[in-house]
Amino acid sequence: MKHIRKFNEVIKNKDLQETIDEVLDNLSNPAADLLKEGLFDFFSKKVNEDDKIALEYIARLKKVKGISPYKITYDPGGREQNNFKIDKWIVDFDDTPIKLWSAISLRSNGFDYQCQELLISKGLSKYSKFEFYGLNVICVGEPENCKASVKILKELVELVESVYKNDKEAKRIENIKINMNKAADLIGDEPIKESIYEREVVFTNKRNPRLIITVKKNPDGRITNIENETGMRFPFSVGQILNRTAEVWACNNNFLMDGKDTCPDKKIFGVKTKDVPQGHEWRHIFPHKF
């Protein structure tokens, strides 16, 4: 009882909020946080309408898992060397987008009295001499300042920052997954057999598609089998490496290699013939080129 009477005497001629602020400003930051939480919970149990508004936004954001349905924009805001940092967040809710501010002092003694007064005049609420938070609700007309409990504002800012980081990470993972293609897995889930390692290369005659030469080779390019019933001499044999010379042979002997023409593109004055449009005068002047 003696301690209670003494406390009552101290605050008798002072505003309670001023007394609490004065006590907190003279304590270390961790101690101030603990004391503030206890005192504010005791003296400020009533939830006002501004608190309900901020708590509604908190409830919405707590439902977000992964990619956020609400666009969140982060603006690092101002920095003054190692003195303070001011960050701004914008959350685009469909009905009422919101802007949030956090002003954090990086100095060992926090914001001085003049800076605190300036931050409060800008609509920010004091959590401690080291932290200030603010919330504006963008309504039709002018933005409205939401004067919710500073403890609730701090929770909202920290939640927005967390959702923003999770959203960014989830989008990064989704972007990678979207660009991955299951078909790019060249080895299926079936047991690997020796035949999987072999690959066929088919040479088809341009003028007579019935003339076909089929060559099977290992991954290293070494020929394992040749099927040639065309009667034409094929310059490779089993055991040899099927190299780029095969493309030259296919071009010189009018064969397609796996359905592709291996002959180099013909050009007229440096322009590929396939790029010359139909009806162009070059097609009449140089018909043998087409």
- Give me the residue spans of the domains in the chain: 1-45, 48-178, 196-259, 265-290
Model's pTM, two decimal places? 0.49
Mean pLDDT lowest among 36-50, 83-97, 193-207:
36-50
Query: Residue 225 half-sphere exposure, CB side, CA atoms within 13 Å?
Result: 8
Report CA dihedral (18, 23, 27, 31) to the nearest 10 degrees: -100
pLDDT of residue 279: 72
Mean pLDDT (whole number) for 44-62: 86
Distance of CA 218 to the CA centre of its chain: 42
Express each pLDDT in 133-164 by its tens digit: 999 999 887 889 999 999 999 999 999 999 99
What is the reported pLDDT for 5?
52
% helix, strand, coil for the chain, step of 5? 40, 20, 40
The answer on pLDDT for 16 being more than 50 is no
Rounded CA separation 99/87 (Å): 10
> How many CA atoms are closer than 13 Å to the CA of 272, on its beta-carbon side?
5
Distance of alpha carbon 147 from alpha carbon 184, whole angstroms: 55
pLDDT(11) > 50: no
27 pLDDT above the threshold of 70 = no
Residue 38 has pLDDT above 60, yes or no: no
109 alpha-carbon distance from chain centroid = 37
pLDDT at 287 over 80: no
pLDDT band at 75, cuts 50/70/90? confident
What confidence score (pLDDT) does residue 13 get? 46
The pLDDT score that the predictor gives to residue 201 is 92
Comparing CA positions, the residue from 220, 255, 262 lying closest to residue 240 is: 220
Q: Are 151 and 144 in contact (CB under 8 A)?
A: no
User: What share of the chain has pLDDT > 90, as a percent?
Assistant: 34
Give the phi and the psi of residue 88 in degrees, each rounded to 5. Answer: -125, 140
In the DSSP assignment, the letter for residue 123 is T
CB burial readout 248-269, b (16+ within 10 A) else e: ebbbebebbbeeeebeeeeebe
Instruction: Name the band, by pLDDT with cuts 50, 70 and 90, for residue 37.
Output: low
pLDDT tens profile 189-245: 554 444 445 688 999 998 898 899 999 998 888 899 999 988 888 988 898 988 888
pLDDT attached to residue 230: 85
pLDDT greater than 60 at residue 32: no
